[in-house]
Structure formats: structure tokens, C-alpha cells
Amino acid sequence: MTGDTLEYGIAAPGYRLPPATRVGRVKLQVSDLDRSLAYYRGVLGFRVLGEVGGGVHLGALDRDDVLLALREQKGVRPVPRRGLLGLYHFAILLPDRAALGRFLIHLAHLGVQPGMSDHFVSEALYLQDPDNLGIEVYADRPRGSWRHENGQLAMASIPLDVESVAAAGGGQPWRGMPAGTTIGHMHLHVGDIERAEAFYHRALGLDKVVWSYPGALFLSAGGYHHHLGTNTWARGAPSASDADARLLEWELIVPTSADVAAAANSLASASHDVERVDESAIVRDPWGTQLRILTRDVRYVACPK
């Protein structure tokens, strides 16, 4: 994308989120905080930033930006095998292929067998946490190598070249989520692609990037391969509830408070209920998944335990 000109995809027809939009904090409800912490620290390599309100904030090794917030709710059900409407997976973007290679070897040493895919634009590993919440850990290919065909970005799911990815780690050990790690995108189970398009594309202002992938729609700002994926692969399942391990909220970070107001106004004009809290706007999609739009990363300073 150069300026407002799309190289591929379909621009949102009215309000468009600014190109610098990115995904912020992901907040999850888990059944056993100690068990989840053992996983998110020991397997994934997050750092605990502090405790707050019956949960913890987690980040990478280099900064105090909150990437994940875990909140415990004893007795909630794990996500069933077929899934629930809401979270399919949240996606942790590593800074480079070398980090992905080191993480892959780390998982092998732990005896963890992830799912694996090459998506052309990225290479990815797939995991489930102790409550069966979906996680992707991935690294992008250089943007200049991305291809587009018939107006869409070329994306697929083909076997990962495991040996090549592992070799990219250079034999260095995995020491935890490295400098530059972010939440790269979200992927949600939805009940209907047309309603998802109406909410996320026409009302929220994300551009459509890929729409021919079976049962899915991928959207982004600024020409990224996707900040959001939606799919109907759990069609017929109920929405995640308070009684389930689930996604409580995810965030989109926009550059200015004017961008927050513009996105909120666009959503409200499409008859969606928008709550303004401090400098953020909070809205739920048609299946109850909560999105917060704000202007900066949520930061948390560790407090005494």
C-alpha cells in the first residue's frame, strides 16, 4: 500500500482504520492461573509483569508492554474440540525467522508437537494452552515477497519446511519471547461471514485482504496480510460464555484519539452499541466478542505481591 492506494484487497467503503493500526493486548479467562502461568512462562517464554485483580499481565523480555492478561475464573470449562464462537486463536508475532527456529527446537526439547503451516506470507506453529485456547506463534516473510492474485493477497496452508525453519535458529537456545515480539493478529470463530464482513469491514473499517479462502475472511489495515481472520469452521457452536475459558477482550491500537472517535462513530452509525471509557471505545461483535479501540499500549507496572 502506498498512501491510500491498495495493491490488493478491497478498501472499507466508508471509514477506514489508519494504516498504522495494530493489535494490542489480549485478555483471556482461564480456569487455573498457576497451571496457565506454568505454560505461558515455561512453554511460550513470557515474562510476568505484575499481578492485578485475580490475574497477571505478561510481556516479552525487553519491554513492559502488556501482551497478554490472564484472569482466573475457577471451574470454567475448557474449550471443546469443535470450538466456540469467539476465539479461534491469538497470534504471537516473533521478530524474525531465527526466533521461530529457536522456538521450534525449544518445543521439540519439551516434547511438544505443534501444528505447522506455511502460509506464503508467514510461517506458523499452532498450539493449545491448558484450557484448549488456541495460539499461533509465527514469523512473517519479507513483505516484498508477498504475492497477490486476482486482487487478493496469496495465502494458503501448505506443509512447513521444518528443517529449514529449525536451521534458521542457528543453534542458539530459546531464552523466552525476544525483543520485538508483538501480538500480530487475531482469528475468530464467527457465525456468519456476511455479518462478520458487515461488522469488521463496513462498520469498523478494516480492508478485506483475502475472501476466497474456504469459510474464512481475512482483514487488515495498511496492507498487512491480516490483523483479523474470521471463519465459520465452528458453525452451529454457541458463543463462549462466562462459564467457559475464553477470550475476554482484544485491542486495536490506533494512532490518535481522533482515530478512536472516528472508529466509534462509524460503528455507532451502523447501529452497534459503543461504550466510551477514558480514551478507549468498547464494542462487541454480533457473537459477543469484545473489542477495545485505543491509542496506546496498555502498560502495567508490577506491584508488590
pLDDT in tens, the chain (305 residues): 444 668 899 999 999 999 999 999 999 999 999 999 999 999 999 999 999 888 999 999 988 899 999 999 999 999 999 999 999 999 999 999 999 999 999 999 999 999 999 999 999 999 999 999 999 999 999 999 999 999 999 999 999 999 999 999 999 999 999 999 999 999 999 999 999 999 999 999 999 999 999 999 999 999 999 999 999 999 899 999 999 999 999 999 999 999 999 999 999 999 999 999 988 999 999 999 999 999 975 443 333 33
293 in Cβ contact with 260 (< 8 Å): yes
Could you tell me which residues are beta bridge partners of residue 118?
123, 158
Q: What does the buried/exposed string (b/e) look like for 233-266 if buried means 16 or more CB atoms within 10 Å of the residue's CB?
A: ebeebebbeeebbbbbbbbbbbeeeebbebbbeb
Helix (H, G, I), strand (E, B) or coil at 268: helix
The whole-angstrom separation of Cα 265 and Cα 244 is 32
- All three cell numbers of 129: 494452552
Count CA atoms within 13 Å of residue 294 on its CB side: 18
- All three cell numbers of 229: 481472520
64 in Cβ contact with 289 (< 8 Å): no
The whole-angstrom separation of Cα 2 and Cα 18 is 12
CA distances from 283 to 95, 165, 195, 201, 204 (A): 30, 39, 15, 14, 10
Helix (H, G, I), strand (E, B) or coil at 84: coil
Torsion angle, CA of 203/206/208/214, rounded to 10 degrees?
A: -80
The structure's pTM equals 0.95
